[in-house]
């Protein structure tokens, strides 16, 4: 393997590698490809059914060839049913699996697709890595923690303020899901089972693996704006839902009062953590990592208020007089929805293994993300709104 002139956290030279990235055309994949192309010499075999979000990395802009043109190849394939998958994994030193159905609106309305996508379709990836002695970085989710222990305490219990009852630790916290008819948990449960399978492959067959649990990574290119670059009736994750409301000058919808709490992390901070995992296998193998920003906690209502303020600043448009409206989860997501109450990642393991910390405040990450949303979509939304409705 070629020398890269770069060193890892232990001062060892990093060798150039070939990475098979499955789900490379999605939100996280697009940022990871961009980072790998612009800052490292590694090669990427980018696998996805779509490539719109990485087109800028694949096609020459204005006739000039891209400096990384021979380091990224796009392979349009569906991993559900394509025999080329094993060959691509064999060609690579490392496989990163990002492919998934991962929008909450799908978990209770398309539970079978959700379970197949997050468990069954990931099985061959794990098997090919294990059988061929290849390293795997698998994307799981913070949702495997489910609800906090504290959420089961009486509302006025002082223990609810004790971090022992809500901070989520990779090697200690239990996974607490709702009942089976709460199909919201189909995703979390499928992700948990694939984590357990990967862990067992490591224990019994020596698979070199790293499991990543993202805590609400957000930034440009996340999901879609309904009716613009995605289906009109589609329901993306909260950043895109609220962006869509702001672009259309409609109130932001707060599900069940917007009382749930989340910690949001800027995609670019999170990608730094993934690059450290890629380039420091000795420190990352066999680990499960929370990747989030514990300092950026808000309720969904507070997020809506902050996004409204930031959007007004970056667009120069006044905020609505009534910026939010309450909606029930049944109305918004349908039967079988349930929610995680609070998600604060413990950072001990990622700190110890990779010395990584997030940097960007919630205000700053919203400012850059909403600047992108406004620049990318405001005109298209304006035109869509002004189109006469067909009679």
Residue 294 binding ligand NAD, by CB under 6 A: no
Please report how close the Cβ of residue 144 comes to ligand UDP at its closest, in angstroms.
Answer: 11
Could you tell which of ligand UDP, ligand NAD, none binds residue 261, using a CB distance below 5 to 8 A set by kind? none
Question: Which residue in the list 107, 128, 145, 187 is annotated as catalytic?
Answer: 187
Provide, rounded to whole angstroms, the least separation between the CB of residue 206 and ligand UDP. Answer: 33
User: Which 8-state DSSP code applies to residue 11?
Assistant: S
Min CB(333)–ligand UDP separation in Å: 7
Place of tokens 């680990």: 287
For ligand UDP, the closer CB: 117 or 216? 216
Question: Least distance to ligand NAD from the beta carbon of 14, Å?
Answer: 24
Q: How many CA atoms lie within 13 A of 77 on its CB side?
A: 20
Ranges of beta strands (E only) in 256-323 are 261-263, 265-266, 287-291, 297-299
Considering only 17, 19, 21, 27, the residue that binds ligand NAD (CB under 6 A) is 27
Report the residue from 20, 21, 25, 377 that binds ligand NAD according to the rule CB under 6 A: 25
Residue that the structure tokens 């992390």 belong to: 265
Residue 104 near ligand NAD by CB under 6 A: no
Contact (CB, 8 A) for 373 and 307 = no
- How far apart CA 83 and CA 38 sit, in angstroms, is 31
- 115-154 positions binding ligand NAD, by CB under 6 A: 117, 121, 139, 141-142
Rg (CA), the chain: 21
Give the 3-state secondary structure of residue 294: coil
Residue list 318-347, contact with ligand UDP (CB under 6 A)? 339-340
- Which of ligand UDP, ligand NAD, none has residue 102 at its interface (CB below 5 to 8 Å by kind)? ligand NAD
**Is position 241 an interface residue for ligand UDP (rule: CB under 6 A)?**
yes
Task: Pick from 17, 21, 48, 323 the residue near ligand NAD by CB under 6 A.
Answer: 48
Smallest separation, CB 317 to ligand NAD (Å): 27
Q: Give SS3 for 21.
A: strand
β-partners of residue 46 are: 21, 74
Q: Angle at Cα 171 formed by Cα 169 and Cα 172, nearest 5°?
A: 65
Instruction: Report, in Å, the least distance between residue 11 CB and ligand NAD.
Output: 31
CA distance 251 to 258: 13
Residue 283 or 342 with smaller CB distance to ligand UDP: 342
Residue 187 a catalytic site member: yes
Other beta carbons within 10 angstroms of residue 45's beta carbon come to 20
**Residue 136: count of CB within 10 angstroms of its CB:** 25
**Number of Cα atoms under 13 Å in the Cβ half of residue 376:** 18
Place of tokens 């495997």: 144
> Is residue 338 within the footprint of ligand NAD (CB under 6 A)?
no
CB atoms within 10 A of CB 202: 18
Binding of ligand UDP by 288 (CB under 6 A): no
Site string for ligand NAD, 194-233 (x = CB under 6 A): --------------------x-xx----------------
Residue 100 binds to ligand NAD (criterion: CB under 6 A): yes
What is the per-residue burial (b if ≥16 Cβ within 10 Å, else e) of 58-85?
Answer: beeeeeeeeebeebbebbebebeebeeb
Residues within the interface to ligand NAD (CB under 6 A): 23, 25-29, 48-50, 78-80, 98-100, 102, 117, 121, 139, 141-142, 214, 216-217
Active site (catalytic) residues: 187
Residues within the interface to ligand UDP (CB under 6 A): 104, 143, 216, 237-238, 241, 253-255, 258, 260, 262, 300, 339-340
């Amino acid at each position: 393997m070629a020398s890269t002139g770069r060193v890892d956290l232990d001062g060892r030279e990093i060798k150039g590698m070939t990475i098979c990235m499955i789900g490379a055309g999605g939100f996280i994949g697009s940022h990871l490809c961009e980072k790998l192309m612009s800052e490292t010499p590694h090669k990427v075999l980018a696998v996805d059914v779509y490539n719109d979000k990485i087109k800028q990395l694949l096609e020459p802009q204005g006739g000039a060839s891209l400096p990384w043109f021979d380091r990224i190849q796009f392979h349009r394939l569906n991993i559900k049913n394509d025999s080329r998958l094993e060959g691509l994994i064999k060609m690579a030193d490392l496989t990163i699996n990002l492919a998934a159905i991962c929008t909450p609106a799908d978990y209770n309305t398309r539970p079978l697709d959700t379970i197949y996508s997050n468990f069954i379709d990931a099985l061959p990836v794990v098997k090919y890595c294990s059988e061929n002695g290849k390293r795997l970085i698998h994307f799981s989710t913070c949702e495997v923690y489910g609800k906090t222990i504290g959420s089961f305490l009486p509302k006025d219990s002082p223990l609810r303020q004790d971090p022992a009852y809500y901070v989520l630790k990779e090697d200690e916290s239990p996974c607490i899901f709702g009942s089976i008819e709460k199909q919201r948990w189909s995703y979390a449960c499928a992700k948990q089972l694939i984590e357990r399978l990967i862990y067992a492959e490591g224990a019994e067959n020596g698979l070199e693996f790293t499991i990543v649990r993202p805590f609400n990574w957000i930034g440009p290119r996340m999901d879609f704006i309904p009716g613009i670059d995605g289906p009109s009736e589609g329901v993306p994750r909260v950043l895109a839902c609220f962006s869509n409301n702001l672009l259309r000058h409609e109130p932001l919808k707060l599900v069940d009062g917007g009382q749930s709490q989340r910690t949001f992390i800027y995609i670019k901070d999170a990608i730094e953590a993934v690059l450290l995992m890629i380039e420091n296998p000795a420190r990352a193998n066999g680990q499960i990592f929370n990747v989030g920003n514990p300092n950026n906690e808000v309720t969904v209502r507070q997020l809506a208020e902050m996004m409204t303020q930031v959007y007004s600043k970056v667009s120069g448009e006044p905020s609505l007089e009534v910026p939010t409206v309450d909606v029930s989860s049944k109305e918004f997501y349908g039967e079988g929805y349930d929610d995680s109450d609070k998600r604060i990642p413990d950072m001990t393991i990622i700190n110890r293994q990779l010395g990584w910390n997030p940097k960007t405040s919630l205000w700053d990450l919203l400012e850059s993300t909403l600047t992108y949303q406004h620049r990318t979509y405001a005109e298209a939304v304006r035109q869509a709104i002004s189109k006469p409705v067909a009679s």
